[in-house]
Structures are given as structure tokens and as C-alpha cells.
Structure 1
Amino acid sequence: MKIAVLSGKGGTGKTLVSVNLAAAVKNAIYIDCDVEEPNGYLFFKPHKIVSERVMVQIPVVDENKCSGCRTCIDFCKFNALAYINNKLVVFDEICHSCGGCILFCPESALLEKTKMVGQVEYGTSEAVTVITGRLNIGEASGIPIIKKLLHYANNENKITFIDSPPGSACTVMESIKDVDYCILVAEPTLFGVHNLNMVYDLVKLFHKPHGVVLNKCVDEENPAEQFCREKNIKILGEIPFDHELGMMNSNALIAVRTSETYKNLFTSLLQTVIEEVQNETIVNP
């Protein structure tokens, strides 16, 4: 069972929900796909960490063969190549490693070289397997790292929680494309509704079953809750705007392992999510 947790922006509570649900399961897999700024490991503090480099192939020019035809430049949609002072230049930082320029070069003047774009780290925290991706500073895309991360999400015997990047860009699409269910985390503000709507449109586009967790709830009107009612979106649970929870978060403590109150809250939320996934499987086997 693979469950992705999304939010329209950072700071909404996506990692809070992901980490605590994984800890509530105990024997689970937690994958941090927010490779530009991973922080789930700060809570889990995993042991026995093993690192693996993530490599991609990028083009390199054989100047003796290049005729300056610019076929490769016309092909590249990321503007990673340019012909400057009668010389073909490759900008490694914005190359997306698609390999198309090499295939289309009529002179076979482009070869491949290997480049490290980041790394994947594996560790354990109690019975939770913690897998973290880290993108090197300045790299254009975290998708190669996310693909590497999701290779480890195919364990049939464990529930996997995927802590997606914030927003709805390509990295988010990559992180949710093979999941069974999506949890959308929303704040109780008009801006929170805007960001919720963004990821709601994304999961609908991917035809993913989904529900919403309302975070930072207070005893006032909640625009995010109203949005869910209007769109007939399942509200999976509510997390209060609470000083105790804020202190645990700021100290990188896992609420499920620290507070009986929040252990019960996230265990109940977990059961609701599992039931939703199972019901979806029955309806759409």
C-alpha cells in the first residue's frame, strides 16, 4: 500500500502527517521525496545510515566532429546547449539528461559522461525504514533522485508513506504517479484553500483517490473545510492548532512517540486512511 502526502506549499503540515502516520504503523517505510529540502530524517533520527550516489548522463562535445549545424540546440527545450564563438557549449546545470541531443546529432559529435546529481540515504528508526533523497545544490531537477527513491516503494509487506515535494510541479507528479491513495493537507485560511485547490486539481488529473487532513484547526470558520464540503471531498481528520504540538514539532519530536493524545489522533487517522484505501480497492479492483 503506497500513500502519498501532498500540500500546495511548504509549512502546511505535510511532513508532520507523513512522519506521524509512518510512526503509528511502526513497521512502515517513510520516503522523503522533498529532495530539495528533506526534513523527515530530523524527526526520525535514523540509525545505520547507508548512502548511495545518484548519477545521470549528460552530453559532452567532441569538437573535432561538431560541424555547428545546431540540430541539438533546436531539439533541446531546456536551452541547455548554445553555439558561442563557433563552439558548442553544454550547460550541465540545466540539462535534464534526456539524451535527445545525442540521438539527433547527425555528426555523432555528442557523447555521454556521468554526473552525480545527489544521493539517497537509507536508515532505520525503531521499526520504520527511513529513505531520504538529497538533490545537489544548483541542479535543475530532482526527478532522477525521486525515481531512485520510489524504486524502494514496492514492498508488498509494508505500508509506504511518500512525503511529496510541496506544490504541483513535475517532481510532485513523479512522486504520486504509482500511489494507491493521496492525502492532501490544508490550512484553515483562504490562502490554504488556494493551495489545496492546486493539489486537488492534480490528483483529479491523475485519477487518484484522495482525502483531506485539515491542519491547524481553531474554533472558527474554516474556509478549507467549506471548500471540501462544496467539492464533496472526504475529510479524513482534523489536527488542532495546538501549542503542545508546535513545541514537539520545533524540537523535532515525533508526536506519536511523545504524546498519548497525538498517538490516539494519528492512529485513528491511520485507520481512516486504510479503510478508504481498502474501500477504493473494492470499488475499483
Structure 2
Amino acid sequence: MQVAILSGKGGAGKTLLAVNLINLMNGSVFLDCDVEEPNGVFYFSDHFVQEPIYNLVPKVNDDLCIHCHQCLDACQYNALIDFLGNVKVLPNLCHSCGACHLVCPSKAISERDELIGWINHAQVDQHHIYGGQLKIGKETGVKIIESLLEKVDSSVDSVIDCPPGNGCSVMESIGQADLCVLVAEPTVFGLNNLKMVYELTKVFNKKSAIVINKVDHNAQVIEDFASEYQIPIIGKIPFNKELALANSNLEMVSQSKFRSLFEEILHEIRKQVKL
């Protein structure tokens, strides 16, 4: 079972849910794909084995270049430009597709490794904990997320803490998921963010379910949306000071009086995956 936890913005509670689900599983894998802010891993450990991740970036040999501009025409990301008669590479725009290398008739373009980030790994009890970390200044962490997803064993339960929003990194994160759990706050703004990620799951034809976080008196705005689109609500996490303080101190709230709440959510997730 592979479960992706999504939200339309940061701070909605997806990491809270993801780490506490893992805490209740046996022999599971946690993937923190929020590579720009990978804080989920710190609930489990602060000692990691670090694996560097590289992108292939083109390198132009000016002596071999015949200035045919076939590489510029082939690049869909404008990562190659003609600057004063020489082809120059803009590495932050490069998606490492290799098209420029393939089309160059004079073999003037080779490829070099460029560090874009790391994967941090720790084994805690029976769990494997992985977190992607994007190098400061780099534009995209999709390659890191691809490398993270390669760590998944289909025979083992895994939980993916996705990046917030609905960009390319989120799309990559949910590709193999059996179920997308959408975490939403019970406000009009929260509804807008929920609609955004729900539309993404529909594009990828993924099953989805909703967990409402920070519920105090009224979650009607989310409940009405869920009813209209027939999305199951599988849990409601209360707006509770004790829970919030414990979570901010990196404590597993599923080991406290809130355990039954997260056990029920996990039970509902397993039911939805089997449907």
C-alpha cells in the first residue's frame, strides 16, 4: 500500500498526519518528498546517511561547435542560448532530457554531473525513513523525488509526505500512489486549496479521501464539497492546543490520548485502498 498525503498549502497538517500514520505501521517506509522543507524526517531521527543526487547538465566544447543551433531548437526549456556567437548553458533551466546531446551533429555537447541535493536515510526500529533535500539555489527537486520513489518496495506499506500545492514536484510524488489523502482546513481558504489538489488527483485518475485538520465547531464548508463530489471524509483532527504543542515539539501524538484518532484514520485508509 502506497499512500500520498497532499495539501494545497504548507501548514495544513499533512506532515502531522503522515508521520503519525507511519508510527502506527509495522515495517513501513516514510518518504519526505517536500524537498524544499523536509522536516518530516526529524520526527524520527537527526542522524542520517546522506546520498548525493546529481542532474546531468550539458557542457559545450566551443572548438567542436559548428554553430548550427540544432541544440537550441531541440531544447524545450530555453536552457541553451547563443551569446556573442557561442552556445551557453543555463543549468538552472535544464531538465536533463539529453536532447541537445543527441541532436548535436559535431558531438560538441557532452554531459556532466551537477549536484542538486541529497537523500537522507535512517532506519528507526522497523521503519526506513527517507527525506529529500534540495540544494540551496537549485530550481527543481523532481530528480530527487524520482530517486526517493525508487526506494519504495511494493511489498511494504509506505507513506509519502508530498510537497504542498499542485506543481511538478507534487505530480511526481503521487505517480505510484494507491490513494491520495487530501488534508484540508475547515475555512473558505482551505476549501480553495482542497479544490486545487483534488483537481490534480482527477487528472492523474487517483482515488482520494479527505482528512479535515484543525476542526473546532464547524467543518461544513469542507463537508459540503466532499458530499458534492462524493469524496469520503476519513478523519477529523481537532483544533487542540495540547495536540499542537506536542506536534511542534516533534512528538508523536499517536502515542498519546489521540492514538485512537489516528488508528481510525489508518483503518479507513486501508479500506479505501481495497475498494
SS in 2 for 1:153: coil
Q: Which runs of 5+ in 1 are unaligned?
A: 281-285
1:183 to 181, 188, 203: 181
* SS of the residue 1:31 aligns to: strand
Q: Which residue of 2 aligns with 1:110?
A: 109
The runs of 4+ residues in structure 1 deviating greater than 4 Å are none
Contact kept? 1:33, 1:175, Cα under 8 Å: yes
The equivalent residue for 1:196 is: 194
Determine the C-alpha separation between the residues in 1 that align with 2:159 and 2:176: 12
CA-CA distance at 1:209 after TM superposition:
1.1
**Which amino acid is the alignment partner of residue 265 of structure 2?**
L
- Tell me the distance in 1 between the aligned counterparts of 2:233 and 2:211: 6
Amino acid at match of 2:64: K
**Structure 2-normalised TM-score?**
0.96
Q: Distance in 1 between matches of 2:141 and 2:233?
A: 31
User: What residue is the counterpart of 2:250 in the other structure?
Assistant: 252
Contact 2:187 2:219 (C-alpha < 8 Å) held by counterparts: no
- What is the TM-score of this pair, normalised by structure 1? 0.93
> Does residue 168 in structure 1 map to residue 166 in structure 2?
yes
CA distance in 2 between counterparts of 1:34 and 1:54 reads 15
Distance 2:16 2:220 in 1: 20
Q: How many angstroms apart in 2 are the aligned matches of 1:125 and 1:114? A: 32
Is the Cα–Cα contact under 8 Å of residues 26 and 126 in structure 1 kept in the other structure? no
- Partner SS, residue 137 of structure 1: coil
Q: Does 1:270 align with 2:269?
A: no
2:77 aligned with 1:78: yes
Q: For the residues of structure 1 that align with 2:248 and 2:49, how far apart are their CA atoms? A: 27
TM-fit CA distance, 1:140 = 2.2
Partner of 1:27: 27
Q: Which residue pairs with 2:13 in the alignment?
A: 13
- 1:141 corresponding residue in structure 2: 140
Q: Structure 2 CA distance, aligned partners of 1:154 and 1:26?
A: 14
Q: Quick check: 2:186–2:218 contact (8 Å CA) kept in 1? A: no
AA aligned opposite 1:138: G
Structure 1 residues 42-81: aligned runs within 5 Å: 42-45=42-45, 47=47, 49-81=48-80
The C-alpha deviation readout for 1:133-156, integer Å capped at 9, x for no partner, is 111112222111111111111240
Residue identity opposite 2:228 in structure 1: E
Count residues in correspondence.
275
State the shift of 1:12 in Å. Answer: 0.6
CA contact (8 A) 1:33 1:162 kept: yes
Aligned mates of 2:6, 2:124 — CA distance in 1: 23
Are 1:95 and 1:140, in contact at CA under 8 Å, matched by a contact in 2? no
Unaligned runs of 5+ in 2: none
The letter for the 2-side match of 1:51 is Q
1:221 CA displacement: 4.8
The range that moved more, 266-275 or 219-228, is 219-228
SS of 1:139 mapped into structure 2: coil
* TM alignment of 1:140-159, pairs within 5 A: 140-156=139-155, 158-159=156-157
Code of the residue aligned with 1:30 in structure 2: it is F
Instruction: Report the CA distance between 1:94 and its aligned residue.
Output: 1.8
Instruction: Give distance in 2, aligned partners of 1:26 and 1:263.
Output: 15
**Which residue pairs with 1:36 in the alignment?**
36
Read off the aligned partner of 1:148 and give its amino acid letter: S
CA contact (8 A) 1:65 1:108 kept: yes
Deviation at 1:206, TM superposition (A): 1.1
